């Protein structure tokens, strides 16, 4: 089997939901942000705006708010840093994909630096007033025309998850679905 550092990191990255009460080094945070900013985007429009949230009171408020839309939110207040991934969109409707690509690149980069991360979806498909997305944007001072896609708690892992995947043969098909 061909193997290298990138393939190994992709294979071994697991989402981390529990974090040590220790800070993230600035250099590592910077490398994770760089990984987000080097993501691909529709029309190469570089639509990201990252808000690095370190303020404990703000993290606690975001934690309380996001309980409305997703199950495991404790990482927001427990991780030393939560990065909000916002997308300007450049007039396209690809904000979810663009946020997701950046979130994944950042989680992978975090793993390669012995950090851990996971992502929580906060976007509201209908972009309604009063939604978690809209309330979180107000808390973070984000303009109305920017979409807030994901929150990425980031820190030093305090757990080791060993989850694996289904067999590759069960999910790959050649020419037509089904492998008879
Ligand atoms: C698009 C997407 C959205 C996710 N949203 C959440 C979320 O809102 N809350 C959460 O706890 N985990 C979220 N996750 C993390 C997944 O639950 C996690 O990827 C899954 O448990 C597999 O973890 P593993 O890759 O470490 O095996 C999300 C992951 C993806 C790819």
pLDDT (tens place) for every residue of the chain, 180 residues total:
899 999 999 999 999 999 999 999 999 999 999 999 999 999 889 999 999 999 999 999 999 999 988 888 899 999 999 999 999 977 778 999 999 999 999 999 999 999 999 999 999 999 999 999 999 999 999 999 999 999 999 999 999 888 888 899 989 999 999 866
Q: Is the dihedral of CA 128, 122, 147, 144 positive or negative?
A: positive
Taking CA atoms only, the protein residue closest to ligand 1 atom 1 is: 100
Ligand 1 binding pocket includes 97 (Cβ within 6 Å): no
User: What is the residue with the minimal CA distance to atom 8 of ligand 1?
Assistant: 120
Tokens of 179: 């492998």
Of ligand 1's atoms, which has the minimum distance to the CA of residue 69? 8
Q: What is the pLDDT of residue 161?
A: 87
Evaluate: CB of 107 within 6 angstroms of ligand 1. Answer: no
Note the pLDDT of residue 179: 64
For 19, phi and psi rounded to 5 degrees? -130, 145
**Residue 11 Cβ contacting ligand 1 at under 6 Å:** no
**Which numbered atom of ligand 1 lies nearest the CA of 15?**
26
Measure 8 CA to ligand 1 centroid, in angstroms.
20
Among 116, 81, 85, 99, CA closest to 41: 99
Q: Of 164, 50, 30, 49, which is closest to residue 109 (Cα–Cα)?
A: 30
CA dihedral over 9, 74, 163, 151, signed as positive or negative: negative
| Backbone Cα Rg of the chain | 17
Q: Map out the domains of the chain with their CATH numbers.
A: 8-170 (3.40.109.10)
Q: For residue 147, which of 125, 169, 173 has the smallest C-alpha distance?
A: 125
């Amino acid at each position: 089997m061909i193997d290298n550092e990138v393939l190994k990191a992709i294979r071994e990255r697991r989402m981390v939901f529990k974090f040590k009460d220790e800070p993230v080094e600035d250099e590592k945070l910077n490398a994770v942000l760089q990984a987000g900013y080097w993501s691909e985007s529709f029309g190469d429009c570089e639509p990201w705006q990252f808000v690095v949230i370190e303020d404990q009171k703000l993290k606690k408020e975001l934690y309380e708010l996001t309980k409305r839309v997703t199950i495991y939110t404790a990482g927001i207040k427990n991780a030393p840093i939560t990065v909000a991934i916002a997308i300007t969109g450049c007039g396209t409707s690809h904000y979810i994909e663009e946020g997701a690509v950046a979130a994944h690149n950042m989680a992978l980069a975090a793993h390669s630096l012995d950090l851990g991360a996971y992502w929580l979806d906060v976007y509201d498909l209908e972009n309604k007033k009063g939604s978690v997305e809209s309330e979180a944007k107000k808390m973070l001072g984000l303009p109305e025309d920017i979409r807030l896609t994901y929150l990425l708690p980031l820190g030093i892992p305090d757990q080791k998850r060993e989850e694996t995947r289904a067999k590759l043969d069960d999910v790959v098909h050649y020419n037509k679905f089904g492998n008879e």
